[in-house]
Amino acid sequence: MNFVESASPLNNSNASRNDNNIVQPIEKDSPVKNKRGMPSEYSHQGTAENIRELKLKAKENGLTFKDSVGRNAYFDCKNANCGYKWKCRLNDDLFYEIFETIEEHNHDNIAARKNGLTNRQKDIIIHRINGMKAVNPKACLQAFRNEGIRSLPTNLQVRNFVYQQKQKSKKNILKLCKDNRSIY
């Protein structure tokens, strides 16, 4: 079970995770499986200067502190059925590198909204990126209005999300190129 006990974040239910104490951004045979039974893939999300900032950022992203092993800290969603997670690593310069699952929150909660966009808004942007349409904040906000969405994110939130998506697709293209090369 994956329940969160705020009283004892360091419970023993994560024994298998403790074996995997190195942050591996993209790991094919990771023992951590997501909801579809696929290994969880992680992408770089950002940094935090200290554990306080890290916990604050995690909270803003709807996550709670779950466990820490050595230099790694783990955060899970408050919603037990959600596969969105962070793996964070204290690096040699003594700040935290944050890695988030590519799998996002599978629910539209307040915490996720506070952080930025709703899943519906994200879908619209992803469709625009895939359709080679303009994804500047003005174009995206207009697209949201056209869909009848009244509660709009800020320009910065749109820009951040577009940037994240483009980084992700860049990674996927690189992976595709690598995979195809092995055919020849």
Task: Give the residues lining the site for Zn ion (CB under 5 A).
Answer: 77, 79, 82, 84, 105
Spatial distance between the Cα atoms of 45 and 35, rounded to a whole number of angstroms: 21
Residue closer to Zn ion (CB basis): 75 or 84: 84
Q: Which two tokens stand for residue 135?
A: 């994804």
Spatial distance between the Cα atoms of 66 and 72, rounded to a whole number of angstroms: 11
Residue closer to Zn ion (CB basis): 58 or 135: 58
Do 32 and 17 form a contact (C-beta atoms < 8 A)? yes
Closest CB 169 distance from Zn ion, rounded Å: 23
Q: Which two tokens stand for residue 81?
A: 């059925």
Residue closer to Zn ion (CB basis): 82 or 124: 82
Residue closer to Zn ion (CB basis): 74 or 84: 84
Closest CB 64 distance from Zn ion, rounded Å: 10
Residue in 104, 119, 24, 91 with CA at minimum distance from that of residue 63: 104
Closest CB 106 distance from Zn ion, rounded Å: 6
Closest CB 46 distance from Zn ion, rounded Å: 18
